[in-house]
Structure 1
């Protein structure tokens, strides 16, 4: 077997191994805002809301380090409905039976309402809501897996 064929086979093997590892990594399954009311009616669960922008480096870091973490994604997917809100989205949406306008010259109305701290929006903002959409926790700024995981436990087992 020539050296080029060996190198080719080795590269193919490496690609297959790497793609297999990527498939094993579990990502958060994000829910659309429009689907949330029906989902909550069918199977009530708490809600995790991630408010971000495309330009925010800490948002990207949390998206990559926290939401790609296997423990975090497994717990969110099993115990929560996860929502993403791009604070600069121009799309109107309905949340808690109220219409929120998309960003025109600033930020989305819902992002303004939920992510403001001391009159300023902080990105990212991560919010945990109960299954009745009542505020449980809110973090303004980057949230690591170590901080988030204790809050992602499922409901206690029935006796």
Structure 2
């Protein structure tokens, strides 16, 4: 079955493939203090329990991605990142819409995620999508200055 979702700016969302690992690592590294190496993305992309979604143009230039892990009737958003040139244009929302639409066709009934409590654009997006904060994790995200940020644990029921 072909999976394909529309996205803004002439982009679309489709499942990621192993060949996308290098681009995902690059975008992740631009988005987080501790980016994940290409090999980590290869491992995830080879595992059917961790589907990834890419927002890209017709020439498969990737503007952003989302990676989840599924276990029984739950899933976790492991990471989502948008290339700095594409931020603020609805790419993250399009990726989350695709993730949620795809999960609605699966046995998954609840989606979890962690987000830095200071990442207000992401928190606003997740709240608009029906997520609510269920817990916090102090010292979860390392920062360049040696301190650590608190993560909000958010969840959303899928029906």
TM-score by length of 1: 0.25
Greater relative contact order (Cα 8 A, min sep 6): structure 1 or 2?
A: 1
TM-score by length of 2: 0.25
Greater share of residues in helix:
1
- Find the structure with the greater CA-based Rg: 1
